[in-house]
Amino acid sequence: MKTKKLLLSLFIGLAASSTLLAQSKADKVFKTFRFGLYTGPTFNSLRPVANEADGYIIDKVKGNVGFSLGLCADYNINDRYTVFSGLSLDWRGGTIAVVDKDSVLQSGYIYKNEVKYKLQYLTLPIGLKMKAAQFDKIKIFAQTGIDLSFLLSQKGDISTITAKGMPAIIDEKVKLGSVAKSTPINVGWMLGVGAEYEITDKNSVYFTVLYRNGFTDVTTPKLNTTGLKFSDGNIRFNSVALRLGYYF
């Protein structure tokens, strides 16, 4: 009888130890890897690198308000540094106007155009998050990195004057693929600050203000359908994003 009790106690002890060990490993994994969701508005603009290109005068007319919705993934190197990545859907855009300054057009090119771009991207970021300070359950951090964006949709409004003295042809909420092409891939860098509030050991909410500046040209109107081509030089994205997120 005593042997049975001893074996039962030993079994219960081993089971409890295995449970505690598994729980300890799970807790360590959750502290090292974190996943979450975020959403928020973005305030976007398209910025010409130069005011003139190929005989056209280029003007940044106005920006637009977009939206981001994404998944975030963090790898905590230590208490101060975190590598982050994820995947998001981003709605960006802005309005660019061009006019031929000499009224001498190349074959297949138009005199004047104003395009309101409404672009949707699938974005893959990667970067480093750094803890700046901590006050009880609130952590203040800075982050920087790069992102790679793949164009999913290109729509917008367009006002075209094919030749000087001709009336404007206005189209709203149209696909821009043949009349105002955009590049399929965009690369940019980001810089931001934020705060995270710890709800439990595994769950927290955070808020981030993020500035993004594009490296690459956003538009390629020289590839438009012949008769609708124009030049806008090198156009790059600028945006400020507000993000509210939750780690689980």
In this prediction, residue 233 carries a pLDDT of: 94
Predicted TM-score (pTM) of the model is 0.85
DSSP state of 248: -
Predicted confidence (pLDDT) per residue in 132-176, tens digit: 999 999 999 999 999 999 999 999 999 999 998 899 999 999 999
Give me the DSSP letters along 183-247.
-SEEEEEEEEEEEEEESSSS-EEEEEEEEEEE-S--B-GGGSPTTSB-----EEEEEEEEEEEEE
Question: Is the pLDDT reported for residue 50 higher than 90?
Answer: yes
pLDDT tier at 102 (50, 70, 90 boundaries)? confident
pLDDT tier at 215 (50, 70, 90 boundaries)? very high
As assigned by CATH, the class of the 32-247 domain is: mainly beta
pLDDT tier at 105 (50, 70, 90 boundaries)? confident
Tokens (6 digits) for 118: 């409404």
Residues in the chain: 248
Predicted confidence (pLDDT) per residue in 13-45, tens digit: 544 444 444 344 445 545 689 999 999 999 999
In this prediction, residue 182 carries a pLDDT of: 96
- Least confident stretch, 13-17, 71-75, 238-242: 13-17
pLDDT tier at 3 (50, 70, 90 boundaries)? low
